[in-house]
Amino acid sequence: MSKASVGKKVPDFTLPATGEQDIALSDLKGKNVVVYFYPKDSTPGCTTEGQNFGDKIHTFRRRKTVILGVSRDSIKSHENFKEKQQFPFELLSDKDEKLCKLFDVIKEKNMYGRKVMGIARSTFLIDDKGVLRQEWRKLKVPGHVDEVLEAVKAL
């Protein structure tokens, strides 16, 4: 599978999601889709990022935009995280890293002095025709959701 790139149509994907469902990009035609990758459920930065997207969910929805969070955690872990934080959007489980590879978000990281491969926090904006319009890599959580919202408004 080729890598997703800005200005090109994103290949269709289907992943298991919270709410006992599978979500496919093709099912979301006619809507903008924000796919945000985060390292791990129930960690401080990932919790804050999810809360920030949740706080702006009504504004995203008014702009026909779906939010999807993605990590390598299990559906069970996602269900607990989503319920505890009351996220108003679905979380996708990418245990096989198919979507991570499509968006090239698996990077070498330093974890307590050890080199490990993990998800680099990244966000991607796909328009209502399935074209990747913008990407944010090596992002910082504070202010990020507002940047994404501005990009959605510009579509």
Is the pLDDT assigned to residue 113 strictly greater than 90? no
| Superfamily of segment(s) 14-154 | Glutaredoxin (3.40.30.10)
Q: What are phi and psi of 117, to 5 degrees?
A: -95, 125
Is the pLDDT assigned to residue 1 strictly greater than 90? no
| Span 55-70, average pLDDT | 97
Contacts of 144 (CB under 8 A, 6+ apart): 49, 52, 123, 136
Under the banding of pLDDT at 50, 70 and 90, the label for residue 105 is: very high
Enumerate the domain spans of the chain.
14-154
Is the pLDDT assigned to residue 25 strictly greater than 90? yes
Catalytic residue numbers? 46
| Span 25-52, average pLDDT | 95
pTM: 0.94
